Structures are given as C-alpha cells and as structure tokens.
C-alpha cells in the first residue's frame, strides 16, 4: 500500500480529507502529501504513536513540518531495536514521487518511552491533537491497557474501529459519554479502505479551499 | 533442560511444539511487549499472560526457547497456528506467573 494508493483510494471513496497515521513515524508523509495534492484530496499529517504503556494514540498535526519535527523527536524515544522484516514485515519509506524507496531499520512497532500523559502534552506543544485509538479493541487500546478510560490527560475525542460498538463501550466507560467519538477505518491494507468514515461539522467561517491546518485547528 | 522436559515438569498444555528439543537457558517474565523485546534473552522461557498475535512476533524476535501462557489465558486457534508456522514453542498452564516461577525454581533448577 503506497502513499499514492491511499490517496487514490480516498478519491475513489469520495473522501474530502484523509490522514496517514503510520506507526511511530511520519516519514511517509511527504510522499503522501504529494499524492494527495495530485488527486485533490486534503492530506492530514498524522502518526499512530505507541506510548510507554503500549496504548495507541492517533496524533494529527496542522502542518507537515510540525509532524516531521515530532517524528524526529519520537524516533529518539523508541527502543533501539533493528527491524527483522521476516517477522515484522518491511518498513518501506517512499520518496516524494515514489520513484525511490528505502527501508527504515529501526523497529517501528515497538513503543516510545513517552507516557500517555507526556505524549498528550508533547503533541500539543507541536500544535497537534491526539486521542486514544480503537478503544473498542482488546489490544493496544487505552481501555484494555488501563482498564478504565482515564480522567487525565484531558482527551476530547476517542476513536472506535467499529461504530456498532459505541453503545457497548459507553456503557462500560461512562466518561466517554461526554466526549466526541471519531470512527477510524484503521485500514492496514487497501481492501479495508473505506470501511469506516468520520464526519466533522466544521465552522462555516473556515477559509476555502479547506486546508488541513484549519481542520486540525478547529478540533483543538 | 529442553522444552519437552520443561512442559512435562510443569505439567503444561502443549499448544505448539515445533522444536521440543530446544534448550531452555533462562527464564523471563513480562507482559509489556516492548519491554520484553528490549530485555528478554535468547533461549529464554518467556512467561506471560499476553495472548495477542504480537506474542509470536516478540518470541521470534528475542529467539525465545518457548512461551508459557500463564493462568490459562484464552488464546485463539489462529494465533496458535501462527506460532507453529513461525517455529514458536508455545505452552500453557493454569498456574499464575508467580506459581510457575516458583515451580521452575524448585523443579527445574533454572
């Protein structure tokens, strides 16, 4: 699944904006932005960060540059373990027009040393937002790891991988009733693309054409 | 002691045993996968309650002699099948992590 594939699928599925949230890295974002510009899709710079507690957080940034800066910071907080492609798969990074690729040697499926709370405030300091990923899933979710949805840090959103789980999960975790749910497709392959869509109601006064910066800022 | 002997000593259920002759050289316990990745040593029997698919990946990465799933934690057939394919020895016990460690210390001299 290349950045161009993702942008192309977003176009086919009629999406206005799409976020790329690779695990613990933003290095594929330049190619993704290039591909989205080609297809007329609004690209959103993102990452799925694995915190020290092994909780997955979706991080979204207003600008590509801030995401890349954050990615450089995260790289230094990852365990220094080399990827073994036969076990974890290839970690391919694409050049801006996808003519060249290289493999990231550092294992990206490990965890950062940033705790949930440290990550929240760090991402804020880069102008980004973050929220717990797939809280309806039994692995790497804030609810499965901590057992409860914590009061701190003050998340405004949470992500479900399946909208059908909303009632069940909000019965178990009362706190999320006052929060906004976002539905992420969590697509790890093209065939899963478009399984789930998110809708935002944005401020009428946002400048047109929409840019990722105004979308993310309206979620802050 | 090899994995066959350890399984029999601890009275473990055998989930996947592609290499029962593998020597168990040390013991490691932990449930935080990234922690285990960075610290477990090759040839270990890794005792955990984690049963998601990444357990197979981590066991392969650290070259564990076997994984012992404690407290009869539920594990899917799909993950057991992956363990066999990846050559990961996987045992399961109703004992807790603590009880397994005590038994290993008393009976297996590891």
Angle (nearest 5°) at CA A51 between A1 and A156: 90
pLDDT per residue of chain B (110 residues) written in tens, 0 to 9 = 999 999 999 999 999 999 999 999 999 999 998 889 989 999 999 999 999 878 999 999 999 999 999 999 999 999 999 999 999 999 999 999 999 999 999 998 77
Q: What is the CA radius of gyration of chain B?
A: 12
Residues near A74 by Cβ (< 8 Å), separated by ≥ 6?
A24, A25, A47, A49, A112, A114
Instruction: Take residue B59 and report the two structure tokens written for it.
Output: 């066991």
* Residue of higher predicted confidence among A174 and A194: A174
Residues of chain B with Cβ-Cβ distance to A79 below 8 Å are: 34, 37-38
Cα separation of B61 and B41, whole Å?
10
- Interface mutation target, options B34, B39, B86, chain A, most CBs of A under 10 Å: B34
Query: Which residue from A79, A84, A87 is facing B34, i.e. has the nearest CB?
Result: A79
Neighbouring C-beta atoms of residue A163, cutoff 10 Å: 13
- Interface mutation target, options A54, A134, A140, chain B, most CBs of B under 10 Å: A54
What are the backbone dihedrals phi and psi of residue A200, each rounded to the nearest 5 degrees, phi first?
A: -120, 145
Query: Which residue from B33, B57, B61 is facing A54, i.e. has the nearest CB?
Result: B33
pLDDT attached to residue A196: 67
Report ipTM for this prediction: 0.70
Domain limits for position B10: 3-108
A110 with B52: Cβ contact below 8 A: no
Taking the CA of residue A211 and the nearest CA in chain B, the distance in Å comes to 36
What is the number of domains present in chain B? 1
Query: Which residue from A53, A81, A139 is facing B37, i.e. has the nearest CB?
Result: A81
Cα separation of A194 and B76, whole Å?
27
- The helix/strand/coil state of B110 is coil
Domain boundaries, chain A: 3-219
The percentage of chain A sitting over the pLDDT mark of 90, rounded to a whole number, equals 60
With an 8 Å Cβ cutoff, the interface of chain B facing chain A consists of 32-34, 37-38, 52, 54, 57, 60-61, 86
pLDDT tens figures, A97-142: 888 899 999 999 999 999 999 999 999 999 999 999 999 988 899 9
> Residues in chain A, how many?
220
Query: Is A54 an 8 Å CB contact of chain B?
Result: yes
CATH number at residue B14: 3.40.1390.20
Q: Which burial class, exposed, middle or buried, applies to A207 when counting CB atoms under 10 A from its CB (0-12, 13-18, 19+)?
A: exposed
Residues of chain B with Cβ-Cβ distance to A111 below 8 Å are: 32-34
A88 with B57: Cβ contact below 8 A: yes
Taking the CA of residue B38 and the nearest CA in chain A, the distance in Å comes to 7
What CATH number is given for A3-219 in this structure? 3.20.20
- A49 and A57 in contact (C-beta within 8 Å)? yes
Average pLDDT estimate for A7-12: 92
Asked whether the CA dihedral B80, B84, B88, B92 is positive or negative, the reply is positive
């Amino acid at each position: 699944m290349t950045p161009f594939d993702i942008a192309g699928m977003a176009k086919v599925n009629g999406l206005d904006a799409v976020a790329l949230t690779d695990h613990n890295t933003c290095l594929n974002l330049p190619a993704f932005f290039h591909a989205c510009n080609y297809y007329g899709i609004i690209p959103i710079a993102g990452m799925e960060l694995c915190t020290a507690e092994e909780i997955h957080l979706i991080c979204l940034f207003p600008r590509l540059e801030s995401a890349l800066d954050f990615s450089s910071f995260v790289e230094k907080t990852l365990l220094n373990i080399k990827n073994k492609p036969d076990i974890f798969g290839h970690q391919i990074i694409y050049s801006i027009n996808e003519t060249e690729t290289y493999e990231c040697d550092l294992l990206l499926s490990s965890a950062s040393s940033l705790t949930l709370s440290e990550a929240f405030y760090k991402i804020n300091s880069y102008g980004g937002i973050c929220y717990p990923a797939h809280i309806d899933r039994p692995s790497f979710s804030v609810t499965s790891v901590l057992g409860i949805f914590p009061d701190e840090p003050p998340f405004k959103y949470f992500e479900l991988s399946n909208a059908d789980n909303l009632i069940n999960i909000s019965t178990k975790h009362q706190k999320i009733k006052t929060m906004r749910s976002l539905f992420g497709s969590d697509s790890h392959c093209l065939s899963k693309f478009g399984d789930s869509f998110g809708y935002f109601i944005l401020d009428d006064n946002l400048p047109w054409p929409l840019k990722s910066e105004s979308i993310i800022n309206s979620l802050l | 002691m090899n994995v066959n002997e350890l399984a029999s000593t601890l009275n473990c259920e055998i989930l996947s045993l592609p290499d029962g002759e593998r020597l168990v050289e040390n013991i490691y316990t932990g449930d935080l996968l990234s922690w285990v990745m960075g610290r477990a040593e090759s040839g270990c029997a890794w005792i955990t309650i984690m049963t998601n698919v990444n357990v197979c990946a981590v066991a392969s990465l650290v070259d564990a002699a076997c994984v012992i799933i404690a407290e009869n934690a539920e594990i899917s057939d799909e993950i057991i099948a992956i363990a066999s394919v990846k050559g990961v020895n996987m045992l399961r016990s109703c004992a807790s992590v603590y009880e397994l460690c005590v038994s290993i210390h008393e009976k297996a001299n590891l």
